[in-house]
Amino acid sequence: MPREINSTPNAPSSPLYSQAVRAGTHIYVSGTVGVDVSTASLVGDTIQQQTRQALANCEAILNAAGAGLEDIVEIGVLLTRPEDFAGLNEEYARWFPSASPARYVAKLGVDLPGILVSIRATAVTA
């Protein structure tokens, strides 16, 4: 099955990875953080602000690949500070109030200055 690279200028990017890769009906979104591409800066220093922006970035990437948040079947979350778990859940529940995708949360293993969360997703389309 051939793979298709998907990208958008509406989310952070790097030459080191693809924002998303489509393989058949599956779309794999790379981990994204709370950077606003219009300012090239982190959106704030709270877990809620960074979670909101990271999810908006995931949504922009999915939209560029022809999908949306409703197509997500699994989300992976990496937290810098485990004590931010409650704040993460607070913002996450606004994005997925019901029929949430499968999810895992783990501790981010690298120190990236200012980064509180990284979120990746897998979506399936028809």
Q: How far is CA 108 from the centre of its chain?
A: 14
As for how many domains the chain has, the answer is 1
Sort 70 into a burial class: Cβ within 10 Å, 0-12 / 13-18 / 19+: exposed
pTM greater than 0.85 (yes/no): yes
pLDDT over threshold 90, residue 2: no
For residue range 29-87, what is the model confidence (pLDDT) as tens digits?
999 999 999 999 999 999 999 999 999 999 999 999 999 999 999 999 999 999 999 99
CATH number at residue 44: 3.30.1330.40
Domain range for 106 is 3-124
